[in-house]
Chain A
């Protein structure tokens, strides 16, 4: 079955860059869906970061767009997140997920399979 697994440092210093990778197994990342990143600060709700297609086409959250880059490596069947100039407000559980919205009705935002999430703390 389709599985997603986030990986990356659990601790990032303020002003530095947060980098995470999502490895996809049981399904080709080049099979027609977008792939997204969502985060959840401790005790709070969900926030979309962005979604990417196999071709590299992206949608980004307007509030994070200036600091975010999402990329895809189809040969490794994985996609990645980079968030620059982090602060304590970026401390969260970061999830990757398959986004079936564009394929089904032409717009992103329908996350049917999620990774287990990885906790990232921003602290010196």
Chain B
């Protein structure tokens, strides 16, 4: 089965840049999405097709995907960005939508 690996936690100071990575075999050949989930809430898509932001998502959220790693970058991180973040991709070889295990972003 295809796996996406994320660090369990990332910490960042307010106003700084946070980077959350997602690793998978030849992930750069697939399209990656990212979701933000706050406690007790449904996930929210923040990046799709590697780099695109859905309507309403602040410009400080950006994405990249190359080689084996996709990265979600949050510039000028705010306290409201503290949440769990999940990457996700479609693996054609297993015909499966795969989610990473999630990364808890702490803003302190």
Contact = CB atoms under 8 A, between A and B. Distances in A.
Interface stretch (B11-19, B20-28, B60-68, B83-91): B83-91
Given A45-B100, A59-B95, A105-B31, A110 B45 contact: yes
B43 A48 contact: no
Interface residues of A, number: 25
Contacts, number: 68
B42 A108 contact: no
Interface string A60-73: 01110000000000
B76 interface: no
A96 B45 CA distance: 14
A59 B96 CA distance: 8
A100 B48 contact: yes
Interface stretch (A7-15, A18-26, A75-83, A113-121): A113-121
B29 to A, nearest CB: 12
A95 B99 CA distance: 14
A108 B101 contact: no
Interface string A72-112: 00000000000000000000000100001100110111111
Contacts of A47: 99
Contacts of B88: 46, 48, 109-111
A51 B62 CA distance: 27
A117 B44 CA distance: 13
A62 B96 contact: yes
